[in-house]
Structure 1
């Protein structure tokens, strides 16, 4: 009799554990979502206008079309969105090669990523008036693209990586120089956020063996953030945020600190993450997805999820709280990703993919 009771009890525990496993399983990419995301950058990589150039003009001769100035990364509204559009395409082609069954997208990349075109891009970054162009957000996405290319065992991808490497090397050196001069980190919820860029750069440097960059990121991240405490999520988000200053910092530090030290730091920095319910962290509401700034909040939902997944991976004891919360953020905004309005479609797919790939 006792044997059967033990079996019943064991079966019940297995059922409860199975339910818990389902409850904390993070959302992942599937073929249908991959196709939806893939269509967005493949459409906009060759869309030259509208375009936000963001450059400093030194003379009349600097007034050129986006394609003339940046023959690789001229589409998708601005330089950084074009770069992470390429990243999305490469990331998805590695996992779902059938998305480009006719080879047209690969041919497009082959015609864009050439040494001749890279020379023009490189010359722009060497112009004295634009040495800080896209620092550090666009630089970080270029590193992420390069990481994806170099890890893809594909002849075309290796050629593209070799072509882009001179620009990547230049920006790696500039990043190291910049970090040594940056007295205070930038804690905004938009492009300039220091922690977000350093996270992407860290992943590139770690995988590709750029040790000088990796060490600079580790050293300066600790310098910037080690003594921070009590980051208050109640003050987030701001109206235009697509990044969470608190969570981006917390995610970065999970990479640069040993696990035990990180856990001790996080308890002081964001004690709310150790609560059983985090009422201050709910999906951000977007009132108008045709407004290029207000739609940033969909991006915030994806980037928050990316951070929460990453933190939960380092501290599995937080999975039961953080993973369902991350899933809710993705669910809230993923259904709104479409090509209906360019203000969101030219960039949001990359942020959804970043979270779903974490």
Structure 2
């Protein structure tokens, strides 16, 4: 593994940089082991203990393939994304059975869908992503000023800025000028005036 092995100290920053992609592969192996498990009853994203962890596990594997040029990790994700399972997930989403994943898990899904399209040129997550983007948008724009401050101050799953950031990135990727304008106005009109109430 280049100039360093796992568990051995690096002698220099240059050595670390030279071995970093090898470490991506080592980490991806652990992610794969969790991703392929069936920990839940979700049709597609059923490993990694819960839905959102399985989603960002898939993102990690796709990113590992892109960075290392090793298709192994992307093939693991391909095997999980069966059309009938994705359709079942979409049905589950529309029934409200994934509402507990709003906003954190839904934001991760938008990140995954963009990586899938941008890195793999595969668009099988588009129907789910479109529905999820709509739900994240509705959630953001429905928040009162009090709710905005509350979620801006949250440090974990309910934090405001993770879904806002990923919805913005999704809008940029899809070239959705209407969504981008709405988000820019939302930030300028609703969020910036609340800045004094959100300690740094």
CA apart distance, 1:32 = 3.0
8 A Cα contact 2:43 2:89, kept in partner: yes
Q: Which residue of 2 aligns with 1:285?
A: none
Matched, 1:173 2:130: no
* Cα distance, 1:78–1:223 mapped onto 2, change above 3 Å: farther
Task: Describe the SS at the equivalent of 1:133.
Answer: helix
| Paired residue secondary structure (2:47) | coil
Asked if 1:119 corresponds to 2:87, the answer is yes
Deviation (angstroms), 1:225: 2.4
Alpha-carbon distance change, 31 to 218 in structure 1, aligned in 2, over 3 angstroms? same
Specify whether residues 193 and 124 from structure 1 end up closer, same or farther in structure 2 by C-alpha distance, changes over 3 A only. Answer: same
Separation of aligned partners in 2, 1:29 and 1:212: 43
Equivalent position of 1:144 in the other structure: 111
Pair 1:110-2:110 in alignment:
no
Choose the corresponding residue for 2:143, options 155, 162, 182.
182
> Is there any run of 5+ residues in structure 2 with no aligned partner, and where?
1-16
Note the 1:291-330 alignment, pairs <5 A.
none
Instruction: Give me the whole-angstrom Cα distance separating, in 2, the residues matched to 1:231 and 1:180.
Output: 19
Shift of 1:139: 0.9
Distance (whole Å) between structure 1 residues aligned to residue 162 and residue 127 of structure 2: 23
Which of these residues, 156, 160, 177, is aligned with residue 211 of structure 1? Answer: 177
Report deviation, 1:143. 0.7
The answer to whether the aligner puts 1:39 opposite 2:29 as a matched pair is: yes
**Equivalent residue, structure 1, for 2:164:** 198
Could you tell me which of 42, 50, 57 is aligned with 1:78?
Answer: 50
Which of the pair has more CA radius of gyration? 1
Task: Give the total of aligned pairs.
Answer: 179
Q: CA RMSD in A?
A: 2.5
Deviation at residue 178 of structure 1 after TM alignment: 2.0
Distance 2:78 2:98 in 1: 27
Q: Please give the TM-score of this superposition, normalised by the length of structure 1.
A: 0.46
Q: 1 or 2 for the larger relative contact order (CA 8 Å, sep ≥6)?
A: 1
> 1:222 corresponds to which residue?
188
**Gapped regions of structure 1 (runs ≥ 5):** 1-26, 50-65, 233-245, 247-358
CA distance in 1, matches of 2:28, 2:161: 27
Q: Tell me the CA shift for residue 231 of structure 1.
A: 4.8
**Regions of 4+ moved over 4 Å:** none
